[in-house]
Amino acid sequence: MADCLFCKIAAGQIPATIVYQDDRLVAFKDLNPQAPMHVLVIPRRHVSSLNDLTAQDDALVGEMIRRAGLLAGEQGYGDRGYRTVFNCNADAGQTVFHVHLHVLGGRSLKWPPG
Ligand code: 5GP
Ligand code: ZN
């Protein structure tokens, strides 16, 4: 999508610290990290939010979640733990409307979230 920030990051048109990419996914460091590790995993293809996923995206979402776990494990957080979050729309605080999975690790995270 022409005007989407994360499509532009995936296309290399806006710089980001990329920690993983393949033909379907890109993972990069969040600009405003909320933990020592704060990575966003996105599909290259534009999907606005979780509400816009279809059954054909099931494998893609599985890859995003599995990649999040692998990246957290690479950073040494597999055993001590980490958090994965999809925010969807206003009440969850979604601000960028290209679906993304937050991966947070490296500190003790509170539950329930605020
Ligand atoms: P949301 O609130 O939509 O779930 O999360 C959007 C995330 O994108 C936020 O954590 C925010 O810090 C991050 N973000 C916003 N703009 C940029 C950017 O230009 N580059 C990077 N790397 N992260 C961004
Ligand atoms: Zn997009």
- Yes or no: say if 40 and 100 are a contact pair by the CB < 8 Å rule: yes
Answer yes or no: is the C-beta of 96 below 6 A from any ligand 1 atom: yes
> Quick one: pLDDT at residue 7?
98
Answer yes or no: is the C-beta of 27 below 6 A from any ligand 1 atom: no
Centre of ligand 1 to C-alpha 32, Å, is: 7
For 54-100, give the DSSP string: -GGGHHHHHHHHHHHHHHHHHTT-TTT-EEEE---HHHHT--SSS--
> Quick one: pLDDT at residue 93?
97
> Quick one: pLDDT at residue 2?
84
The ligand minimizing its distance to the Cα of 1 is: 2
> Quick one: pLDDT at residue 1?
81
Q: Encode the chain (114 residues) as per-residue pLDDT tens digits.
A: 889 999 999 999 999 999 999 999 999 999 999 999 999 999 999 999 999 999 999 999 999 999 999 999 999 999 999 999 999 999 999 999 999 999 999 999 999 998
